[in-house]
Amino acid sequence: MSETTKKPVLFSGIQPTGSITLGNYIGAMRNFVLLEDDYDCLFCIVDLHALTVRQDPAALRRKTLELAALYIAAGLDPERSIIYCQSHVPQHAELAWVLNCFSYMGELGRMTQFKDKSARHKDNINAGLFTYPVLMAADILLYQAAVVPVGADQKQHLEITRDIAQRLNAIYPGLFRVPEPHIPRETAKIQSLSEPEKKMSKSDPEDSLISLLDKPEDVRRKFRRAVTDSDGEIRFDPENKPGVSNLLSILSVLSGEGMEALTQRLAGQGYGKLKDETAEAVNAALSPIQQRFAQLMADKTYLAHTLADNARRAQGMAQKTLRKVYKKLGLYQP
Ligand code: ATP
Ligand code: LTN
């Protein structure tokens, strides 16, 4: 990101947990690449968010480096955009504290992700899980981001970020830029292959998801086993035919063939054909990413330097906002 240009800022983040999925790619990463030219971008590896669920330390470290490599392998340019780790920029946690003091228990308790995750991790309903959206708001507001590309599941978190920003702006005018979500339309949510009424989630069982690092034969096998329905008709109808519609969405977005043309072309054919075509489209998309990923993972020094450099660039921007916030709120700054 050049310090001299004045493009609006784009911010997004992904947690370094589980296997980065086709859902993460279609819902998030792929759009990052499409938007990179038009904004000054920050792509964060949100490792502090990952701590809201118990993590194995060695795995967390490995996943962090892998996510850095995947961001670059998917086509992002770490010389232009800032690709970095959240925990390397302490201002995220500092601003989160301030925002915590302006966030309400009621609104946080209404977040679907909190309700879902606390139902799934009954033995660990920690305060971090509850204030997760506040840290996310801090990530975004720290850089005065104008747009935040995310999958549809994050819409509610973007709304609370906007509410918090507007709440502070009402007391301290001009403090934050109020960010806009950028959510891709039809394909905003890729569904699980084994339970197509649920979103594909990277912390779910391997058979329900396509990992960006899956081998071609695994991709074929997983699609062949994907749950569909028994009426045999190829039609885009997410409500009544979530499995088939999910396959159609994936195929349409990756092949560039419009949904109408696609459903007409495949009408009357069996689900086997739809599954095979989808698997091949996915393999074609993943193959260049996997090649680049392997090269990057073979050069850990490059990855480490890139992350350190980029964290420094992020810190410069973050410190400007944090100082402004501390000053406006009345914290004495010599
Ligand atoms: P977890 O299962 O650990 O909660 P996740 O798969 O939801 O993880 P995140 O790190 O929370 O992944 O999300 C990273 C980005 O990917 C977000 O922008 C999110 O909206 C998007 N995303 C996640 N899952 C999907 C999906 N199934 N379809 C489309 N986008 C998705
Ligand atoms: N909560 C997001 C990850 C995330 C994020 C962000 C996305 C954390 N901070 C800031 C966009 C902007 C998730 O679970 N997908």
Angstrom distance (rounded) from CA 108 to CA 316: 30
DSSP class of residue 199? B
Closest ligand 1 atom, residue 199 Cα: 27
Q: Could you tell which of 70, 153, 210, 245 is best to mutate to test the pocket of ligand 1, judged by most ligand atoms within 8 Å of the CB?
A: 153
10 Å CB burial of residue 264 (0-12, 13-18, 19+) is exposed
- The pLDDT score that the predictor gives to residue 184 is 79
- The pLDDT score that the predictor gives to residue 3 is 53
Ligand 2, CB cutoff 6 Å, lining residues: 11-13, 15, 46, 49, 136, 139-140, 148, 150, 154, 157
Is ligand 1 within 6 A of the CB of residue 190? yes
DSSP class of residue 173? T
Average pLDDT over the chain reads 95
**189 part of the active site:** no
- The pLDDT score that the predictor gives to residue 187 is 57
Residue spans of alpha helices (H) in the chain: 22-24, 30-35, 47-50, 57-73, 91-100, 105-109, 112-120, 127-141, 155-171, 216-224, 242-255, 259-266, 271-297, 300-329
Give the tokens for residue 261. 């043309």
Is ligand 1 within 6 A of the CB of residue 151? yes
At 325, is the secondary structure helix, strand, or coil?
Answer: helix
Structure confidence by residue, pLDDT tens digits, 47-76: 999 999 999 999 999 999 999 999 999 999
How many CB atoms lie under 10 A from the CB of residue 228? 19
Beta bridge partner(s), residue 83: 43
Is ligand 1 within 6 A of the CB of residue 31? no
For 101: left if phi > 0, alpha if psi spans -120 to 50, otherwise beta; the answer is alpha
Q: How far is CA 150 from the centre of its chain?
A: 6
Angstrom distance (rounded) from CA 186 to CA 189: 8
User: Dihedral, CA atoms, 227, 261, 283, 72, nearest 10 degrees?
Assistant: -110
Whole-number percent of the chain with pLDDT over 90:
90
10 Å CB burial of residue 136 (0-12, 13-18, 19+) is buried
Closest ligand 1 atom, residue 200 Cα: 27
Angstrom distance (rounded) from CA 95 to CA 137: 9
Is ligand 1 within 6 A of the CB of residue 24? yes
- The pLDDT score that the predictor gives to residue 137 is 98
- The pLDDT score that the predictor gives to residue 209 is 97
Structure confidence by residue, pLDDT tens digits, 271-320: 999 999 999 999 999 999 999 999 999 999 999 999 999 999 999 999 99
Q: Could you tell which of 120, 150, 189 is best to mutate to test the pocket of ligand 2, judged by most ligand atoms within 8 Å of the CB?
A: 150
The one catalytic residue among 7, 63, 115, 117? 117
**117 part of the active site:** yes
Is ligand 1 within 6 A of the CB of residue 70? no
Atom 26 of ligand 1 has which residue's CA nearest to it? 23
10 Å CB burial of residue 115 (0-12, 13-18, 19+) is exposed
- Low-confidence stretches of the chain (pLDDT beneath 70): 1-5, 186-188
Atom 23 of ligand 1 has which residue's CA nearest to it? 24
**199 part of the active site:** yes
Closest ligand 2 atom, residue 149 Cα: 11
Domains in the chain (CATH in brackets) are 9-182+299-329 (3.40.50.620), 206-294 (1.10.240.10)
pTM for the predicted model, two decimal places: 0.93
The one catalytic residue among 63, 115, 198, 199? 199
Angstrom distance (rounded) from CA 185 to CA 194: 23
Whole-number percent of the chain with pLDDT over 70:
98
Q: Following DSSP, what letter does each residue of 256-322 receive, concatenated? A: ---HHHHHHHHTTS-HHHHHHHHHHHHHHHHHHHHHHHHHHHT-HHHHHHHHHHHHHHHHHHHHHHH
Output the CA 276–ligand 1 centroid distance in Å: 25
